[in-house]
Amino acid sequence: MKADAILVLGSTGKTGRRVAERLMARGAAVRRGSRSGTPPFDWMDRATWGPLLEGVKAVYISYFPDLAVDGAADDIQAFTRLAVQSGVRRLVLLSGRGETEARRCEDIVRESGVEWTLLRASWFAQNFSEAHFLEPILAGELALPVGDIGEPFVDADDIADVAVAALTEDGHAGQLYELTGSRLWTFGEAVAEIASATGRPIRFTRVTMRDYVAAMEAAQLPPDMIGLIRYLFAEVLDGRNASVQDGVVRAIGRRPREFGDYVRATAATGVWTPGGEGGV
């Protein structure tokens, strides 16, 4: 079988969905990897991996829930080995800034023996509109256990554009791209920007980690998810990532999308308006 398909893992997620859409718009043979796909792909069921790798030349690797969780490196090692054995010639890994376990996964892909590109991304801007921050923003208050730490939120569209370039074009093999926005924002500043764009009274409140964990437990989040979120706020958001990098410019020759532009465009969809009909 000719290996010409591109496998997109996490194809229903924030970045994977965008990567798959862009590849399809280019006329590429796209294979979607998700638990709801046909055939399905599940990181927790290695028997599902092989069928989706047949005839694949390149893979966008997005690991759920995060490369920082226990066991992620073992999964990435096993998947990478199987992908290479199956004839995959190019791997593009979505990684996270400041995560020790993610660095281990990066090393595994680096040592795969095939072309590789690493996308080490900061926190997604879309976490405010397509993930767990959306509900509290709609309620008028985002309470998090983080202070005045600056984060260069990166737009998921920028990540997708870089990923597509790395999957389909020459010149990206062996590159590590640190993908960030163009300036630092505290969470308080980000929420204030959303409030201004929507014309709604939305506030940011800093809470203790103990209170935040208690709220997650009351919401009956799984213990492993609580552990991951606690790690991300307690360690990754300790200031280690409070810097802007040039990965987007290096990869695709343009500046990253401004967070403020993302906020204004997203506000116009109505997604941050209670009862709004819009979507992103």
- pTM of the full predicted structure? 0.95
Residue 276 confidence (pLDDT):
65
Helix H, strand E, coil C: the string for 187-253 is HHHHHHHHHHHHCCCCEEEECCHHHHHHHHHHCCCCHHHHHHHHHHHHHHCCCCCCCCCCHHHHHHC
Residue 37 in any domain: the answer is yes
Rounded to the nearest 10 degrees, the angle between the axes of helix 72-85 and helix 100-110 is 10
Residue 76 in any domain: the answer is yes
Residue 229 in any domain: the answer is no
Note the pLDDT tens digit of each residue in 229-238: 998 898 888 9
Residue 278 confidence (pLDDT):
52
Residue 221 in any domain: the answer is no
Q: What is the mean pLDDT of residues 77-91?
A: 98
Note the pLDDT tens digit of each residue in 8-44: 999 999 999 999 999 999 999 999 999 999 999 999 9
Residue 205 in any domain: the answer is no
Note the pLDDT tens digit of each residue in 179-223: 999 999 999 999 999 999 999 999 999 999 999 999 999 989 999
DSSP 8-state class, residue 122: -
Note the pLDDT tens digit of each residue in 237-274: 899 999 999 999 999 999 999 999 999 999 999 999 99
Sign of the alpha-carbon dihedral angle for 263, 264, 269, 275: positive
Residue 238 in any domain: the answer is no
Q: What is the mean pLDDT of residues 224-232?
A: 90
Residue 61 in any domain: the answer is yes
Q: Is the pLDDT of residue 279 over 80?
A: no
Residue numbers of the domain that contains 103: 5-122+155-180+243-257
Q: Is the pLDDT of residue 1 over 70?
A: no
CATH number for 175: 3.40.50.720
Q: Which of 270, 262, 147 has the alpha carbon at shortest distance from 193? A: 262
Residue 75 in any domain: the answer is yes
Q: What is the number of structural domains in the chain? A: 1
Is 49 within 8 Å of 79 (Cβ atoms)?
yes
